[in-house]
A and B are shown apart, each in its own frame.
Chain A
Amino acid sequence: MSYGSSASACRALLVRDFSLVWRRRGDALNPVLFAVMVVMLFPFALGPEAAVLARISAGTVLVALLLAGLLSLDALFRSDLEDGSLEQLVLSPHPLPLLLACKILVHWLTTALPLIVAAPVLGELLYLPRDVLPVLMAALALSTPLLSLIGAVCVALTVGMRRSGMLLALLVLPLYVPVLIFAAGACNAAQQGLPVLAPLLWLGAALALALVLAPLACAAALRISLS
């Protein structure tokens, strides 16, 4: 019996995941709505002065997007575990890290990309200085895939649990701290007129490393959770 090539398996998985998201396309907007709500809370809590909000705008947008990403992580394997297709994925003859990388890619495209698109609007709500916006977008483009990859490993560890929400946050957030430090570092440097390249290069290096290692780690974690 032939199983087809790994490339065709990946293509089939991508088509399946995309069509699953497309059939519930209303849900795809939820992370964006959540991020808007979180950002909206800050002017209420700190007062609407433009100077104060402009000072914290980049960091607030980063944290709002990070939290929205954290909340959407749970959906990465949830439905696949419930209908049993996750076990089939683990049993399949194709390399599991490759298949998981496809799943993480779809997850990033459907949850993080809308957030990145919404980021300029969120920044505008908080009077983000115009010259910081390109740096913020670059930092988001590098950090959100990194967050999805790191998060996927931790989700794989908690996949069988019924109430994993708080625990997932406890596992993921310490690992998110360095990413946030570098992304916010780039934005703060831009705000003070300092060179921004170094923190962005750090993010890029971490992303390159995570692209290779995270799918492997995710596969190992998933095998532990499903054993």
Chain B
Amino acid sequence: MNPLLLWFHKLGSPPYFYRFAGRLLPWLWGLALIGLVAGLYGGLVLAPADYQQSDAFRIIYVHVPSAWMSMFIYAFMAANGFVALVWRIKLSETLAMAAAPIGAAFTAICLATGSIWGKPMWGTWWTWDARLTSELVLLFLYLGVIGLYHAIEDRRQASRAAAFLALIGIVNLPIVHFSVKWWNTLHQGSTVKLFGPSLIDGRMLWPLLIMALATKFLFAASLLSRARVDLLELEAGKDWARQVALSGERA
């Protein structure tokens, strides 16, 4: 068997994943911390003030990365949910359900920071703009997935049902993304573009990109930490989990 494929198959086994994630975690937390410090320093101190909004624009260094993460994590959760439903991989169930609260947190941060920025800039905490509304629906979808997961006794059945709900809710993702294009309302269009030149100055852009990368590492670190605990709980009766508990080993 191809060694990469073999490694991938091994990764699906909870004890192997538990040890692998344990080895990876310090690096991920470290990279996330360095990235967050560097990105925030660059964004809050080094980047020049905006000619119109002066220092108030700096909230984008939290707002925009969390907004990206809110959609990225939903896609990740739904993709894992799909794998869990089709191939019944236990690890995917755990990863999908461990991702949901992190995604909900990022969505809440995105809504809160946008609201704090909107008060001085738009003159209102909240407006029924298409982007804001669809992001709020995204938060409710996350809460629905979490609520359904915790309402069912059997852990594996719960994660399958919640994964199915996450898959249904994925119709909202394109709506969030294209809402600023389809409806020309208050929220501005995208400034940072994947294809073509961005509409933001390079001195303001680099901290944003570092923050985007740092939040990815933060998500990965948080996800693996949660997934390890969930796996221990799920496999509490198995030998490997007992060994981990008895030896108190961290790795």
Task: Determine which of A160, A171, A175, A217 lies in contact with B147 in the assembled complex, contact meaning CB atoms within 8 Å.
Answer: A171
How many residues of chain A have a CB within 8 Å of chain B?
21
Interface of B, secondary structure class, is: helix
Residue B118 is within 8 A (CB to CB) of chain A in the complex: no
Q: Taking the complex as formed, is A6 at the interface, i.e. its CB lies under 8 A from any CB of chain B?
A: no
Instruction: Answer yes or no: A85 CB below 8 A from chain B CBs.
Output: no
User: Is B140 among interface residues, defined by CB-CB distance under 8 A?
Assistant: yes
Interface string of B127-169 (1 = CB under 8 A from A): 0000001000100110110011001100001001100110011
A161 vs B85: C-alpha distance when bound (angstroms)? 21
A173 within 8 A of B: yes
Looking across the interface, which residue of chain B has its beta carbon closest to that of A169?
A: B144
Q: Are A220 and B137 in contact (CB under 8 A)?
A: no
Chain A residues whose C-beta falls within 8 Å of the C-beta of B85 in the assembled complex: 220, 224
Q: Which residues of A contact B241 (CB under 8 A)?
A: none
Q: A174-B141, A177-B137, A224-B161 are in contact. Are A167 and B148 (CB under 8 A)?
A: yes
List of B residues within 8 angstroms of A161 by Cβ: 151-152
B231 at the interface (CB under 8 A from A): no
B140 to A173, Cβ gap below 8 A? Answer: yes
A221: CB under 8 A from chain B?
yes
Query: Is A225 positioned at the interface, with any CB of B under 8 Å from its CB?
Result: yes
Q: Give the CA-CA distance A67 to B160 in the complex, in Å.
A: 28
B175 at the interface (CB under 8 A from A): yes
**In contact, A157 and B147 (Cβ under 8 angstroms):** no
Question: Nearest Cβ in chain B — how far from A165, in angstroms?
Answer: 11
Cβ B165 vs Cβ A167 within 8 A? no
- Report chain A residues within 8 Å CB of B172: 174
> For the complex, is A158 an interface residue (Cβ under 8 Å from B)?
yes
Asked if A19 is an interface residue, CB under 8 A from chain B, the answer is no
CB pair B151–A164 under 8 Å, yes or no, is yes
B148 A174 Cβ-Cβ under 8 A: no
Interface pair B164/A158, CB less than 8 Å apart: no
**Those of B197-217 within 8 Å (CB) of chain A:** none
The answer on a CB contact under 8 Å between B164 and A220 is yes
* 5 A-B pairs with least C-beta separation: A174-B140, A171-B144, A174-B137, A224-B160, A170-B144
Query: Could you write out 11 A-B pairs with CB less than 8 Å apart?
Result: A153-B168, A157-B148, A157-B161, A164-B151, A167-B147, A167-B148, A175-B168, A220-B164, A221-B161, A224-B85, A225-B157
**Interface residue ranges, B against A (CB under 8 Å):** 85, 133, 137, 140-141, 143-144, 147-148, 151-152, 157, 160-161, 164-165, 168-169, 172, 175
Q: A157-B161, A160-B152, A171-B165 are in contact. List 13 more A-B contacts (CB 8 A).
A: A157-B164, A157-B165, A158-B148, A161-B152, A171-B144, A171-B147, A174-B137, A174-B141, A175-B169, A177-B137, A217-B164, A221-B164, A224-B157
